[in-house]
Chain A
């Protein structure tokens, strides 16, 4: 069925070009809601200060996770909305898409959350997020000067990440 307007009402940005970076930003959180890493490549519009922005993003994911688990028609272990779940319980979402961006999400059982925001036409990024998790292990976790739970300040990780993201999105 064709409704009036369709794509005109919610126009998507132009298709990604082969060159250049089509990823907007990345967040890495740990279980305690600390933003370990935030990097942006292309974010012309900003409405909140960065601290509020991080909190909002974390809160969104937290609620969405509990919501998706609650709505799951198949899985048996679903808690009540808002009730804390044991890690690994319930189902988990891996991405959502709006007309202007796509948000891909991965959470490791140790509570590390990786969020990548890209162009809406990007394909499945689950493997890429896993790869980024591997980068995090190699460059951050194995760095003896890094204190677990603190924001990441590691140039080598940032450069490698930039390079990799440029290649995928």
Chain B
């Protein structure tokens, strides 16, 4: 039998190197602030944050796999649980929950009640269209793409816009089968 991966990230979180939470929050804030200055358009900032998250995600997945000992997930449901319970705990120190499954098990919501990225943050009137935490959706998309799942990640609820929680909607578009990468004539 394949070893069963951990169902909670607590033990891993206790062992990995951590940074001061406030330093982390403020650094992220500074990045968003700088992007707003540089790109001017809120839409562009959303896009840029998502791209940055994607670039993080495609690297982060290897660290996640190496440290968590998760070998494989049976289905997308398990994947979502592992992201919420192990992934978020390991890298952000919080635990998320998974809800709102659709009938065929390809779309769900990851709900974050506690989000260290938004401490001290208030959106000014000029930035109402900003998805402040858009980097997170990029991370999830990038990480899942590396394990051959094409996904679409969008924000359904955002505390900075007056909702009671953060809710990320994750939709599985396609599972890409492994193919032989070389052509015959090469």
Interface residues of A (CB under 8 A from B): 31-33, 55, 58-59, 62, 84-88, 108-112, 130, 133-134, 136-137, 141-142, 148
Extra inter-chain contacts (6) besides given A110-B146, A130-B66, A133-B66, CB under 8 Å: A33-B182, A58-B181, A88-B73, A111-B147, A141-B62, A148-B58
- The answer to whether B178 touches A85, judged by C-beta atoms less than 8 angstroms apart, is yes
Chain B residues lying within 8 Å of A33, measured Cβ to Cβ, are 180-182
Assess A111 versus B146: contact at CB under 8 Å? Given A137-B62, A137-B66: yes
Closest 7 CB pairs between A and B?
A88-B72, A33-B181, A84-B177, A110-B146, A84-B179, A137-B66, A87-B148
Cα–Cα, bound, A55→B182 (Å): 8
The B52-80 residues at the A interface (CB cut-off 8 A) are: 58-59, 61-63, 65-67, 70-73
> Among the interface residues A31, A62, A108, A110, which one has the most CB atoms of the partner chain B within 10 A?
A110
A55 vs B179: C-alpha distance when bound (angstroms): 14
Contact yes or no, A110 B182, CB < 8 A: no
* Cα distance, A111 to B146, chains bound together (Å): 8
CA gap between A55 and B183 in the complex, in Å:
11
Count of chain B residues near A, Cβ 8 A: 24
Given the known interface contacts A86-B148, A87-B147, A88-B72, the answer about A110 and B62 at a Cβ–Cβ threshold of 8 Å is: yes
Alpha-carbon distance between A130 and B3 when the two chains are bound, in angstroms: 13
> In the complex, are the beta carbons of A109 and B66 less than 8 A apart?
no
* Smallest CB separation, B18 vs chain A (Å): 15
In the bound complex, how far is the Cα of B62 from the Cα of A32, in angstroms?
16
Interface centre among B58, B71, B175, B179 (most CB of A within 10 A): B179
B residues in contact with A58, CB < 8 Å = 181-182
Residues in B lying within 8 Å of A, measured CB to CB: 58-59, 61-63, 65-67, 70-73, 146-148, 175-182, 186
B143: min CB distance to chain A, Å: 9
B66 contacts across to A, CB distance below 8 A: 108, 130, 133-134, 136-137
Cross-chain pairs A/B with CB under 8 angstroms, 13 sampled: A31-B181, A32-B181, A33-B180, A33-B182, A86-B177, A87-B72, A87-B148, A108-B65, A108-B66, A133-B65, A136-B62, A137-B62, A141-B62
A91 CB to closest chain B CB, in angstroms? 9
Q: Which A residues touch B146, using CB under 8 A?
A: 110-111
Complex Cα spacing A33 to B186, Å: 13
Q: Which residues of B contact A148 (CB under 8 A)?
A: 58-59
Closest chain B CB from A138 CB (angstroms): 8
Q: Considering the chains assembled together, what is the distance between the CA atoms of A86 and B79 in angstroms?
A: 14
B63–A109 CB distance below 8 A: no
CB neighbours (8 Å) of A85 from chain B are 177-178
> Most chain-A CB neighbours within 10 Å: which of B65, B178, B179?
B178
In the assembly, what is the distance between CA of A42 and CA of B147, in Å? 34
Q: Check if A110 sits within 8 Å of B147, measured CB to CB.
A: yes
Which residues from chain B contact A87 at a C-beta distance below 8 Å?
72, 147-148, 178
Q: Shortest beta-carbon distance, B178 to chain A, in Å?
A: 5
Shortest CB distance B26–A (Å): 20
Contact between A109 and B181, CB atoms less than 8 A apart: no
A62 closest partner in B (C-beta): B180
A49 to chain B, nearest CB (A): 14
A58 to B177, CA, bound (A): 17
